[in-house]
Amino acid sequence: MGSFVSQPLEPVKDVAPPEVASSANPVPVIAPGGPAPPAEAPLFNNCWSCRVLSGSGLIGAGGYVYWVARKPMKLGYPPGPGTIAQMVFGISIACWGVVILSDPKGKAFRTG
């Protein structure tokens, strides 16, 4: 499903030993504003099973945080600022899980 075994292996590249630069042939320096090498794709968050597991886990964690904050209110205690903040934080965690489930990497905006 989401393991490294199910994904194709990349060939290992041999690294040549660095050569000593002579004064006649200096090594060119890359300018800071020059073109950057292409970014590699991340190893995580790129398969459906990974998104389902992490998204549902975040929804569950957010629901639990919200439920723990809501429990004293059901007993009749007035909510304080900390309780309200905990409820907002729980809702935020659950929303983050929904975003992970519904928006796979690379589908929200296109590059290039």
Burial class (CB in 10 A: 0-12, 13-18, 19+), 17: exposed
Average pLDDT of the residues in 58-80: 94
Average pLDDT of the residues in 48-74: 92
Residues 6+ apart with CB under 8 A from 27: 21
- Comparing 44 with 79, the larger pLDDT belongs to 79
For 9-38, how does the pLDDT look when each residue is reduced to its tens digit (9 = 90+)? 566 666 666 665 555 665 556 666 656 555
Which stretches within 1-112 are classed as H helix?
48-74, 81-102
Q: How many residues does the chain have?
A: 112
Please state the pTM of the whole predicted model.
Answer: 0.55
Q: Indicate the residue type of 19.
A: E
Q: 85: pLDDT confidence band, cut at 50, 70 and 90?
A: very high
Burial class (CB in 10 A: 0-12, 13-18, 19+), 58: buried
- Comparing 40 with 82, the larger pLDDT belongs to 82
User: 68's torsion region: left (phi>0), alpha (psi -120 to 50) or beta?
Assistant: alpha
Residue 86: what pLDDT? 96
- Comparing 12 with 45, the larger pLDDT belongs to 12
